Structure 1
Amino acid sequence: MLEFIQTIGQILLINILLSGDNAIVIAMASRNLPEHLQARAIRWGTFGAIALRILFVFIMIYLLQLPFIQLIGGCLLLYVAYKLLVDKQDHSQMKSGNSLREAITIIIFADVIMSLDNVLAIAAIADSDLLLIIAGIILSIPIILTASELILKLIEKFPIIIYIGAGLLAWTAGKMLLEEALVQQLFASLKYGQLIFLNILTLAVLFIGKWRRNQLEMTV
């Protein structure tokens, strides 16, 4: 039970960090609609996005069973961890819909594009446990929709949250890499080899990400 709660907590954290700005995209997409239609656009757009996200999870669970996909997925997740540290999203050019149907379409497709890394991350953290994944997604949706502005302010005030999330992603990526027999063999003869690998990999991502983030901030 404790492990279940811990995993749900990790999924919630990653969902919030990787999807915290989705609510901003939703608001931007529906900003040109009359007020009485904005709520409908947000409701139906979010419903469609959740349905597609769960569909992608099913696909991801299947893909993670294929040869070398754990290796590829681990590398992609490392990149997601790095991007979380260095990227700053700019939604100023986000397209807005002029009709209810157009706004819903924009919301769904924008969310899908922004959520592919999210789906990979939570599938890896939950170790492809469908119940955990769906529970994590469902629990995180109301948080993202109702508290996104607060979440973004907290992240700005306490940047350590970003580093915790990136560290969790890097650690999870390392565990995915260790699922590959070839990678396991490299550390088989070394005592605590896998643990050492996970720690070095996580610290390397955090160090490189922070260095790059500092470089970008100096050029602004």
Structure 2
Amino acid sequence: MDASFWIGFVNIIIIDIVLSGDNAVVIGMASRKLPPEKRQQAVIWGTGGAVALRVILTALAAWVLLIPYLKAAGGLVLAWIAFKLLAGEEAEGDGIEASGTLWSAIKMIVVADFVMSLDNVLAVGGAAHGDFVLLLFGLGFSIPLLMFGSNLIANLMDRLPVLVYVGAGILAYTAGSMIIQEEVVQQHIAPVLYELTWVVPILVTGLVLGVGLWWRRHTHQSFV
């Protein structure tokens, strides 16, 4: 329990708070249309899936880092998920049974968590510096953050449905950041066009929100 341990301890708390936000947004958005009892199930399963994925990714971190274009592909998937959360749910219609809706929400949560958990795993792993206790703490601390955060977000969206656009924007911006942070892009493009570091996330956000707004207008959907 020396100074480096406590520095890592504090760093992990900050990392979890910052990086768990996107995951909480996904869980909250995907579960917001479910009845209260189904929503709680989606939150529990979604949180459990997120933590399980982080454990697996932590064990395979060294191998996962070798997969080319992983972040870019993950960014594209996350952008699609942001659009689906914004418009796809209503596009599927109101005739879906509650159990099917719950399963769809859980699937979307797990896929998005897989995409977004990589940064969290790498950041927590780096802050832990190989300390197994700190690594376990980082994984454990994310559980209440995800559960509390996603419930709070879902409840807020019930009261202020326009926040769906805010949530989709956050996810779309994260997707753009993942694409531009791809190692190949950083090596060949970013050094020449540094502005792309912030331009690409903004463009992806605008594209997702713009298409989502067009879709809602085209299908005569409202935020309620």
Aligned-pair CA distance for 1:152: 4.6
The superposition leaves residues 111-170 of structure 1 with CA deviations (integer Å, 9 ceiling, x where unpaired) of: 7524213413541563643466653332232565xxx5x855632442342222212111
Gaps of 5+ in 1: 30-41, 97-106
Q: Does 1:57 align with 2:61?
A: no
Aligned-pair CA distance for 1:77: 0.7
Q: Paired residue for 1:180?
A: 182
Q: Paired residue for 2:84?
A: 83
SS of the residue corresponding to residue 67 of structure 1 reads coil
Q: Paired residue for 1:94?
A: 98
The Cα RMSD (Å) is: 4.1
SS of the residue corresponding to residue 89 of structure 2 reads coil
Q: Paired residue for 2:209?
A: 206
SS of the residue corresponding to residue 88 of structure 1 reads helix
Q: Paired residue for 2:144?
A: 138
Q: 1:192 to 1:129 in 2, by over 3 A?
A: same
Q: Paired residue for 2:113?
A: 119
Q: Paired residue for 2:71?
A: 70
Q: Is contact 2:75-2:179 (8 Å) kept?
A: yes
Q: 1:143 to 1:187 in 2, by over 3 A?
A: closer
Distance of 1:214 and 1:198 partners within structure 2? 24
Q: Paired residue for 1:103?
A: none
Q: Is contact 1:25-1:110 (8 Å) kept?
A: no
Aligned-pair CA distance for 1:200: 1.7
Q: Is contact 1:122-1:133 (8 Å) kept?
A: no
Give me the TM-score of the superposition, normalised by structure 2: 0.62
Distance of 1:177 and 1:207 partners within structure 2? 19
Aligned counterpart for 2:37 among listed residues 23, 27, 30: 27
Q: 1:163 to 1:11 in 2, by over 3 A?
A: farther
Give the percent of matched residue pairs that are identical in Structure 1 and Structure 2.
21
Distance of 1:51 and 1:79 partners within structure 2? 23
Q: Which runs of 4+ in 1 moved over 6 A?
A: none
SS of the residue corresponding to residue 217 of structure 1 reads coil
Aligned counterpart for 2:17 among listed residues 8, 23, 41: 8
| AA partner of residue 110 (structure 2) | L
Q: Is contact 1:82-1:206 (8 Å) kept?
A: yes
Q: 1:174 to 1:71 in 2, by over 3 A?
A: same
The superposition leaves residues 79-99 of structure 1 with CA deviations (integer Å, 9 ceiling, x where unpaired) of: 111112113365851349xxx
Q: 1:126 to 1:162 in 2, by over 3 A?
A: farther
Q: Paired residue for 1:195?
A: 198
SS of the residue corresponding to residue 219 of structure 2 reads helix
The superposition leaves residues 41-79 of structure 1 with CA deviations (integer Å, 9 ceiling, x where unpaired) of: x7xx94x76544422223345475222211211110111
Higher mean Cα deviation, 63-72 or 122-131?
122-131
Distance of 1:151 and 1:50 partners within structure 2? 14
Q: 1:193 to 1:17 in 2, by over 3 A?
A: closer
Distance of 2:104 and 2:221 partners within structure 1? 30
Aligned length: 190
Distance of 2:36 and 2:104 partners within structure 1? 8
